[in-house]
Amino acid sequence: MAARPKPGPRLVAANGARTPAPRRNRENLFALAYERLEEMTVTCELRPGRLLAMQELQDMTGFGRTPVHQAVSRLAADTLITIRPRHGLQIAPIDLARERVLLRLRRDLERFVIRLAAERSGPTHRNQLLHMTRTLRQGRKAMTISEFNLLDRRIDRLIMAAAGEPFLEHTLRPLHTMSRRIGWIYHNWVAAEAGLHQTVDCHLDILDAVANRHVEAAVAAADRLIDFADSMFDRMEREIDPALLDCSLDQLPQA
C-alpha cells in the first residue's frame, strides 16, 4: 500500500491557531450582485412598480441569497426598492415630480464633487480622464444608451476618485442611478430619434475641464448636464405612458 503524501505546511497565527483556508470574497459577490440589480433597474428589466420575491431576484441574477439580500438592502436604502414585510419586494415606481426635486439636490452635489475633482486631479487621474474622453468621442455617433450607461458609471467612479472624498459616493450613487433610469426611458421611449449627442457632449466638456484643472469651466459643464437632464422631465410628463413609470397601473380597469 502506497504511503500517503504528507500534507503541506499550513500557516499558523501568532496565538497558535491555524489560519482558515481562503473563502470566496463575499464583498466582491455583493458588489457584483448590486451592479447587476442596479443595471436591471436602470434598464427597466425590473419594471418600476413590479412586485417580486427575493428568490426571483436570485434566479434572475444567478447569485446566492446572501449577496442578493445585501444588494437589496442597499437598493432599499437608496429608495430604489421597497421592502414590504410579508409581501416581498417592490421595485420603486418612478415619481417624476420627486425625481425632479432630487435633481436639484444632485446639481448642488455635482458642483461640489466636480470642483473637488478639478482641484485635486493629479497626473494619474488626468491620464484616465483623457482615455475616457477618447473612448467617448470615438463612440459618439453610434453609441447606444446601454453602451453609454456603462461608460457613464465608469466616469462617475473616476470623478469620485479624483475628488478624493469617499463619503460623497454614498450620497450621489442613488441619484446617479435614478438619473440613468430616467435617461434610459427618455432615450428609448420618448426621444429615441434625438440620439445621445447632447448628453455625450456635456460629459466630454466635464471630462476635458477636470482633466485640465479648469475649475469654473468644469462646474459650468456640470450645470449644463443637469439642465439637460431637467429638460427631459417636461417632455416625459406630457408624453410618457404612465404604466412605464409604474407597471401596477396595467392592472387598473381601462376607462
What is the domain-level CATH number for residue 86? 1.10.10.10
Q: Check whether residue 224 and residue 144 sit in a common domain.
A: yes
List, for residues 117-134, the tens digit of each pLDDT value.
999 999 999 999 999 999
- DSSP-based three-state secondary structure for 197: helix
Q: Check whether residue 154 and residue 188 sit in a common domain.
A: yes
Q: How confident is the model at residue 144 (pLDDT cuts 50, 70, 90)?
A: very high
Q: How confident is the model at residue 245 (pLDDT cuts 50, 70, 90)?
A: very high
Task: Return d(Cα 118, Cα 76) in angstroms, integer.
Answer: 32
> For 127, how many CA atoms within 13 A lie in the half-sphere containing its CB?
3
CA 143 to chain centre: 18
Q: Check whether residue 221 and residue 114 sit in a common domain.
A: yes
Mean pLDDT of all residues belonging to the chain? 88
Whether 253 is covered by a domain: the verdict is no
Task: Return d(Cα 194, Cα 27) in angstroms, integer.
Answer: 40
Asked whether the predicted pLDDT for residue 9 surpasses 80, the reply is no
Q: Read off the pTM.
A: 0.85
Contacting residues for 245 by C-beta, under 8 A, at least 6 apart = 48, 49, 93, 94, 95, 96, 185
Q: Check whether residue 115 and residue 132 sit in a common domain.
A: yes
Per-residue pLDDT, 20: 43
Whether 125 is covered by a domain: the verdict is yes
CATH number at residue 225: 1.20.120.530
**Cβ 75 vs Cβ 91: under 8 Å:** no
Domain count, the chain: 2
N-terminal to C-terminal alpha carbon distance within the chain: 84
Full residue range of the structural domain in which residue 150 is found: 96-240
